[in-house]
Amino acid sequence: MVTALLARQLLTPLETVEDAALVIEDGIILAAGARADMSLPANARVVDFGDAILTPGLIDIHIHGAAGYDVMDGSDDGMTSIEQLMLRHGVTSYCPTTVTAPMEQTLAALQKIASAVDEARTRTDADRAQPLGVHLEGPFLSHARRGVHPSIDLQRVSTASFDKMWNAAAGQIRVLTIAPELDGALALIAVAAGRGVCVSIGHTNADLGQAAAGVKAGARHATHIFNAMRRMTHRDPGVLGELLTNNAVTADIIADGLHVDPAVVDLFLRVKGVDRAVLITDAISATGMPDGTYRLGSFEVQVRDGRCESYGKLAGSVLTMDVALRNVMNFAHLSFQDSVRLATINPARVLGMENRKGVLQPGADADVAVFSPSGEVRKTIVRGRIG
């Protein structure tokens, strides 16, 4: 069936189209543009969203869980609940993200997540976000900057260990967070990058030279910049000196106002620009739930007043992507269009999927978020399926 979505405005997101129409068929976008310039198919089902704004569906490349469930559990009920909650907040695609755990637990989780990714390609339900592949956060992290990742489960960098995880995930690892200063890290960065993985620098105590060596080896992104990283000073720029000034590196940030001060979020976006910055949530199982005690991988996290802590350290967030959009508009005075870029085409580029995801253009997947003029999610559409 051909469906035409009408709205006051459409963000591609690189361009703004007024009085817009988006034509989709079999989950793919056929046409996008001004309604006056298009001839809608005579047999099209027309859905008019009135004064709404159509954007690409949001993409979260770093999320550990939601709705009381952790992605490492990998249960059908858990993944369904996580994906349904994400959809309510405008997210159509995401990378289930692991946390450092005993190897056997990690391998089991990767197998379950890989199965969920495979199943998502063929399912027909319209009320769930789609997993695109695994974000492997750990176990190759700095002990000095591990955050809440259990020290006992961190590992020496080993291509053999990575291969075990790669095989368990059936080759569906999309992002690898690694500390480039660790022995063996540069070799593994090159191996992973050669397999098409986005290697991301994070949980690192690297100095400027070590960070630059990581980028030269093939790293091209940074995980929750500023958090779990060596501090920057005017005489010791450290890893941040490389990540902030190298235009070949993209970086993501947790814009909840807790992980990074709003003024620093503003500074970050001024330095990296709206084409190299990515919004993430780093959300955990407590997202969408009341205050209480929840799990992140193998350990407990206490949540109170929106703050997630384990033994006094920040442990993920309860942020949602639509709130992150509104936050950067407030923190950095970005337009809605620029904020949308940080959560659509930019993460799609990080994953190498910008021709299919994160854009409203002919040939792309019909993943659409419908926003009110004030930036509230009204509806989310996954691959053209309007529930």
| pLDDT at res. 114 | 96
Parallel, antiparallel or unpaired: strands 368-371 and 313-314? unpaired
CB 13 within 8 Å of CB 337: yes
Confidence band of 126 (pLDDT split at 50, 70, 90)? confident
pLDDT at 387: 65
Catalytic (active site) residue 282: yes
User: Does residue 339 carry a pLDDT above 90?
Assistant: yes
Share of residues in the chain with pLDDT > 70 (%)? 100
| pLDDT tens-digit series, residues 142-191 | 999 999 999 999 999 999 999 999 999 999 999 999 999 999 999 999 99
Query: Same fold for the domain at 2-53+373-381 and the one at 58-357?
Result: no
**Distance between CA atoms of 285 and 307, rounded to whole angstroms?**
13
Q: For the chain, give the mean pLDDT.
A: 96
Say if CB 253 and CB 222 are below 8 A apart.
no
Q: What is the mean pLDDT of residues 26-48?
A: 94
pLDDT, tens only, 162-174: 999 999 999 999 9
Check whether 124 has a pLDDT greater than 80.
Answer: no
pTM: 0.97
Name residues whose C-beta falls within 8 Å of residue 168's C-beta, 6 or more positions apart in sequence. 106, 107, 108, 110, 111, 114
Active-site residue, from 60, 73, 282, 322: 282
Say if CB 305 and CB 291 are below 8 A apart: yes
Domain 58-357: which CATH number of 3.40.640.10, 3.30.1120.10, 3.20.20.140, 3.30.460.10:
3.20.20.140
SS3 of 313, please? strand
- CATH superfamily placement of domain 2-53+373-381: Urease, subunit C, domain 1 (2.30.40.10)
CB 238 within 8 A of CB 145: no
pLDDT confidence of residue 1: 85
Region at 50 (left for phi over 0; alpha for psi -120 to 50; beta for the rest): left
Residue 262 burial (C-beta neighbours within 10 Å; 0-12, 13-18, 19+) = middle
Q: What does the pLDDT read at residue 304?
A: 97
Assigned token pair, 86: 């994400």
What integer pLDDT is reported at residue 121 of this predicted model? 86
Domain ranges, ordered by start, for the chain: 2-53+373-381, 58-357
Q: What is the DSSP letter of 203?
A: S
- The model's pLDDT over 270-317, given as tens digits with 9 standing for 90+, comes to 999 999 999 999 999 999 999 999 999 989 999 999 999 999 999 999
User: Mean pLDDT over residues 322-326, rounded?
Assistant: 98
State mean pLDDT over 198-211: 98
